[in-house]
Amino acid sequence: MKRTTTPDVITVDEQGRESTVFALKRSCNGCGQPLGDLLDRDLDADGHAVDVRAECPHCRPVAEAERAGCRTWLLTPRTIARVDDDIDQLRVFAKGYWQPGPDGKNRVVGLRIGDGPDRVVARWGDWIIRHPDGRWSVHKAPTGAAS
């Protein structure tokens, strides 16, 4: 079933009171972009939201990489400690990636994985991809995504 996007309907009664009728919406669980109206299939039998990244034009390559055997992580300030631990357990060097902010003070803006010329840098909102052959790549966050 194709997902539709029902627009909000705003009505004003005789007393001038405004009311809005709207359909619940579903956003991508990978990047947060809106996908359209919520559907029954968006929840599993236990009521948990299912993975809809394959429907998202931005995140589809990450979902396809997972199906091809890649391991992936979404990098955010909340996930960096776990991601760093996971990468350490793979015996790969990783550390916070620092850059000066608008105030000139250095701050962590992502994670550097590996050392030497093959290293990759992921920033907040990027997906880190570990390929079955051991290579690393980064799927950039959508332009304008919140960090």
* Contacts with Zn ion, residue ranges (CB under 5 A): 28, 30-31, 56, 58-59
CB of 58 to Zn ion, least distance (A): 4
Nearer CB in complex with Zn ion: 75/94: 75
Q: Which residues have a Cβ under 8 Å from the Cβ of 39 and sit 6 or more positions away?
A: 1, 3, 26
CB of 54 to Zn ion, least distance (A): 10
Nearer CB in complex with Zn ion: 31/122: 31
Nearer CB in complex with Zn ion: 56/65: 56
CB of 109 to Zn ion, least distance (A): 21
Neighbours of 68 (CB within 10 A): 10
Please give the C-alpha separations between residue 7 and each of 27, 44, 49, 52, 127, in angstroms, as whole numbers. 15, 26, 22, 21, 31
